[in-house]
A = this chain, B = another copy of it.
Amino acid sequence: MRVERAQQALQECGADALLVSSNVNLLYMAGQIINGYVYVPITGQAILFVRRPKGIEGANVSYIRKPEDIPAILAERGVAAPSKLAFEADFMSYSEYTRVAGCFADTELVNGSGILRSLRAVKSEYELDMMRESARKHDMVYAQISEMYHKGMSDVELSAAIESAGRKLGSLGIFRIGGSSMEIFGGSILAGENADAPSPYDFALGGAGMHPSLPIGANGTVLEPEMAIMVDMGSNFTGYMTDMSRVFAVEKITNPLALRAHQVSIDIQNEICKVAKPGVQAKALYELAYSIVEKEGLKEYFMGHNQQAGFMGHGVGIEINELPVLAPRSRDILCKGMAFAMEPKFVIPGVGAVGTENTYIVTEDGLERITHFPQEIQII
């Protein structure tokens, strides 16, 4: 079915084949990670060109040593050389591109990354069930957080405890992010002022991290009363990720601005749930959020304070940053089967990051929230 959808997309863009090469898209198209390629002709069966592992069987599997082996195998299989080949230009390195282009001398190569991004944005029922399962486990991990806390604990120690709880429940651990400049381990916990430390990465919020080699998230801050402790830890139990942030506090948070901003984040999501449905523009959701933020006078704290992010939501699936993007210039339109996270967050100087993040599925009628852990600030 995924191959058929890819073939339809090829028809729409006038290409006659798609060469899939990234692990995430190989997983998507072939149902497993291989070292090799999936070749999707505009009609007929997709072909798996496999370097490794040994032992994959099927009429549509051909073993190769190098991409240069592909044209001869296509010819043997009676598949005509493509005149216009879509490939993963946003992913494939220039070096690999030159080799692939050398295999298809009379072929025009065009960027097929957008095709795959659009396909993956709309999930099947099977994929949505994988996401619901990850969300269910995600809830179970967050439900253990209050027991993990002990006096004097640092953000990093809390992170390690959450990671460990996830692994015990079957988390695969791996956190997949699109884009070569993005990196993170496990997720992010931002306690107090660290929420305002700018990061080079394109996540919603920053954090200094523990070391210059990974400047994101927890930085060793000891958790104390009146700090907002934003927990935004990953969840990948099924190959499909979910995204959820919650705020915890040791004993109490009393700062009125922080308490109000936290509630506004929940209100924004509730307001968006009233209007979001198939056909609605993703940017309209951002605009609705922003109009509430402006009305509440919280603009300077929205999506960061020292450094502000330009989006407040993003698709999730095999990777944590898929389509749609909820941002002012997004061209994405909601479709049934999309899954995305909304994270209207605020960074309040002296307190930290507040607000919640939830993963939603676009249904025929609106949004289904799949992350159910209570949204109120959790006292630990």
Q: Which A residues contact B (CB, under 8 angstroms)?
A: 22-23, 27, 31-36, 51-55, 87, 89-95, 97, 111, 113, 156-157, 159-160, 163-164, 167-168, 170, 172-174, 180-181, 183-186, 198-202, 206, 210-215, 238-239, 306-307, 318
Contact A27 B198 (CB under 8 A): no
Q: Specify which chain B residues have a CB less than 8 angstroms from the CB of A52 in the assembled complex.
A: 198-202, 307
A22, B200: Cα distance in complex, Å: 13
A174, B159: Cα distance in complex, Å: 13
Q: Specify which chain B residues have a CB less than 8 angstroms from the CB of A54 in the assembled complex.
A: 198, 306-307
Contact B53 A93 (CB under 8 A): no
Contact B170 A210 (CB under 8 A): yes
Contact B160 A53 (CB under 8 A): no
Q: List 12 A-B contacts (CB under 8 A).
A: A23-B183, A32-B215, A33-B212, A35-B201, A89-B95, A91-B180, A95-B111, A159-B167, A172-B213, A173-B185, A174-B183, A213-B239
Q: Specify which chain B residues have a CB less than 8 angstroms from the CB of A186 in the assembled complex.
A: 173
Contact B170 A164 (CB under 8 A): no
Rounded to whole Å, the gap between the CB of A311 and the closest CB of chain B is 14
Rounded to whole Å, the gap between the CB of A94 and the closest CB of chain B is 4
Q: Specify which chain B residues have a CB less than 8 angstroms from the CB of A167 in the assembled complex.
A: 156, 159-160, 163-164
Q: Specify which chain B residues have a CB less than 8 angstroms from the CB of A173 in the assembled complex.
A: 163, 185-186
Rounded to whole Å, the gap between the CB of A289 and the closest CB of chain B is 22
Contact B213 A33 (CB under 8 A): yes
Rounded to whole Å, the gap between the CB of A69 and the closest CB of chain B is 17
Q: Of all chain B residues, which has the CB nearest A130?
A: B213
Rounded to whole Å, the gap between the CB of A324 and the closest CB of chain B is 20
Contact A164 B160 (CB under 8 A): yes
Q: Of all chain B residues, which has the CB nearest A156?
A: B167
Q: Specify which chain B residues have a CB less than 8 angstroms from the CB of A306 in the assembled complex.
A: 54-55
A318, B183: Cα distance in complex, Å: 14
Contact B185 A172 (CB under 8 A): yes
Contact of A93 among B32, B89, B168 (CB under 8 A): B89
Q: Most B CB atoms within 10 A — which of A27, A97, A173, A215?
A: A173
A128, B5: Cα distance in complex, Å: 51
A172, B35: Cα distance in complex, Å: 28
Q: Specify which chain B residues have a CB less than 8 angstroms from the CB of A180 in the assembled complex.
A: 22-23, 91, 93, 180
Q: Of all chain B residues, which has the CB nearest A208?
A: B53
Contact A53 B91 (CB under 8 A): no
Contact of A53 among B183, B206, B238, B239 (CB under 8 A): B206
Q: Specify which chain B residues have a CB less than 8 angstroms from the CB of A239 in the assembled complex.
A: 211-214
Q: Specify which chain B residues have a CB less than 8 angstroms from the CB of A318 in the assembled complex.
A: 213
Contact A214 B22 (CB under 8 A): no
Question: Which 7 A-B residue pairings sit nearest by Cβ, starting from the closest?
Answer: A213-B239, A160-B167, A173-B185, A53-B198, A35-B200, A174-B185, A94-B97
Q: Specify which chain B residues have a CB less than 8 angstroms from the CB of A213 in the assembled complex.
A: 27, 33, 172, 174, 238-239, 318
Q: Specify which chain B residues have a CB less than 8 angstroms from the CB of A113 in the assembled complex.
A: 95
Q: Of all chain B residues, which has the CB nearest A169?
A: B160
A163, B168: Cα distance in complex, Å: 12
Rounded to whole Å, the gap between the CB of A126 and the closest CB of chain B is 13
Contact of A172 among B23, B53, B174, B214 (CB under 8 A): B214
A211, B171: Cα distance in complex, Å: 10
A211, B163: Cα distance in complex, Å: 18
Q: Of all chain B residues, which has the CB nearest A157?
A: B168
Q: Specify which chain B residues have a CB less than 8 angstroms from the CB of A156 in the assembled complex.
A: 167
